[in-house]
Chain A
């Protein structure tokens, strides 16, 4: 993969102190984000997608969270930055779009106020300029009559409109990287397609990079260029969107793709099932973390944890037997 690397995660570990346990939420997570690409992170709930995203900006409670590893953003290790310096980066160079626009917008301020607040925190501009700019941005994200909408409160807007406002706040300082954490999960499909279109347009226009966190593989196929698949706090596969969907290597990725009903699924055939459930974080298996659900697990899988290896230039995989599994394709025969 050519292109410049904007963000590099290198062996990132995040652990939390809870009342009872010390939980190792993500384990040796490494991946790169290139300039101008949309990178998808997929996985089921609890796999560490959001923890990874929040860790990039260190949004967790500092008191109870331990970070280890390296987060390299344009040559700057974010984990070594002071809180003061981080504040200059958050919302300015890296910004975030959250899942639930209602709880992430402040209900007692107008949307204009919230965009202007972010603008004035990072840029030296007058209130008047900021307001003009805010209206411009609201228009950019597709809000009709932004001159009027700017003085409205979040409760006066619909869910889709609120998410547009969230995007407006995220892009107002022209960040280099946007982290979108399930930006469309709370929305209807029709509104989802509107929001994804806005995001894609802005991404191309402003040449931003986007990390798109989602559990919806349809959204990934539609928006992303590369995909990171996570399972129980580890990256298990990284590849281009074509590689992940056409020639997935990890049994979990394969299972995930197969178990999802799509418009071509035959309703008379049962869906593929991944046996069992994701183990809880306080009892992580010793060997490969997917071994207890994997139909191909061997003795080795149960005792030794595989590392993330290169299968080819752009395709990485964490599995002991992916070569042999590739030959037993029958189990996952495509419908």
Chain B
């Protein structure tokens, strides 16, 4: 896509790392979990970047680190070209209203003792945006935008169903007029019929307000539907990134191929024998040497277990981290 080249990324993440250290207890040694490792990506204005991978691969930690809800160990986060990693929290809080988050569990992310109106306005209060009346007007305006009416302002969270709460969660994320929203498994807890309502709403809001999303999910059908580009994570690293169509039509990394093959197809006529990814994701305490995927990769060579592959750009927008993607070994699996 030509247009991307000229645009400045809204958010640029360079070499982001987050390591957690476990406490040394008795016999056990101190240990480091490398949850996010050398992750780099950009999010442009008005686009959705999907982040997929198995549980424990570091998707959510990446999302949280980008918002500095957890502090990164290494790396830089540039927002509109400005480095926000080194910023003091006090300073960062000033621009924080541009970043918001929609959480996975609509039941756990609202204070059950407070009215919806309070939960919505709290965001603005913390950011000290607007006067009391303005805040209320804004809350009601957004409630209407996500399909409620004024009376819902006075209700409590328990009066709403899961899907409704998720809509309120979206309204809350919009309170400060953000530019960038991290959607952390925003539709995973919802039923299919409700999920489509929320996905449509997210898309509509993006179009109206020019929002950018970092959409974290494990359901590839959903991520494909909503994302412009997709990054695939494995053991804390982005192993492949490409525009959505390109990634699904022409996956290069063996992990991506096997992940795509594992999606159940809701069509009884399109069932075929498919390659199955063997084994489990290794413990993040003990990341395999070389390419972290070599323990499960059906094509792994000796080189893979020793040398960490570099990120290779096969085209402007398609990057992959694998020693073998160019050789034809990985093609065989498809036939």
Contacts and interface: CB of A to CB of B under 8 A. Distances in A.
Contact of B199 (A196, A241, A246, A261): A261
A267 B191 CA distance: 20
Given A188-B55, A190-B259, A277-B194, A221 B266 contact: yes
A205 to B, nearest CB: 17
A75 interface: no
Contacts of B266: 217-218, 220-221, 245, 257, 260, 262
A256 B192 CA distance: 7
A149 to B, nearest CB: 13
Interface in B173-232: 191-197, 199-200, 203-204, 218, 220-222, 224-226
B54 A188 contact: yes
Nearest to B163: A277
Interface stretch (B3-11, B101-109, B130-138, B274-282): B274-282
A54 interface: no
B20 interface: no
Contacts, number: 129
A167 to B, nearest CB: 16
Contacts of B54: 188-191
Interface string A111-133: 00000000000000000000000
A259 B193 contact: yes
A194 B276 contact: yes
Contacts of B163: 277
B264 A192 contact: yes
Given A158-B280, A189-B218, A277-B163, A262 B194 contact: no
Given A219-B264, A221-B271, A277-B161, A190 B258 contact: yes
B200 A270 contact: yes
B274 A44 contact: no
Contacts of A194: 276-278
Interface in A274-296: 274, 277-278
A19 interface: no
B38 interface: no
With a 10 A CB-CB cut-off, give which of B193, B263, B271, B281 has the most chain A CB atoms.
B193
Interface in B24-83: 54-55
Given A44-B191, A259-B193, A273-B200, A189 B263 contact: yes
A260 B221 CA distance: 8
B312 to A, nearest CB: 24
A193 B277 contact: yes
A261 B222 contact: yes
A13 B203 CA distance: 42
With a 10 A CB-CB cut-off, give which of B203, B226, B265, B268 has the most chain A CB atoms.
B268
B226 A267 contact: yes
A222 B280 contact: no
Nearest to B197: A273
B143 to A, nearest CB: 17
Interface string A177-203: 000000000001111111011000000
Contacts of B193: 44, 255-256, 259, 273-274
Contacts of A221: 264-268, 271
B221 A222 contact: no
Contacts of A267: 224-226, 244
Nearest to B228: A267
B280 A218 contact: no
A163 to B, nearest CB: 11
A248 to B, nearest CB: 12
Interface of B: 54-55, 161, 163-164, 191-197, 199-200, 203-204, 218, 220-222, 224-226, 244, 248, 258-259, 261-269, 271, 274, 276-278, 280-281
Q: Please list the 6 inter-chain residue pairs (A to B) with the smallest Cβ-Cβ separation, ordered nearest first.
A: A218-B264, A259-B196, A261-B225, A271-B196, A44-B191, A274-B193
21 contacts: A161-B280, A188-B218, A190-B258, A191-B54, A192-B264, A193-B261, A194-B278, A215-B191, A218-B263, A218-B264, A222-B265, A242-B269, A245-B267, A257-B266, A259-B193, A262-B221, A263-B224, A263-B263, A265-B225, A267-B224, A277-B161
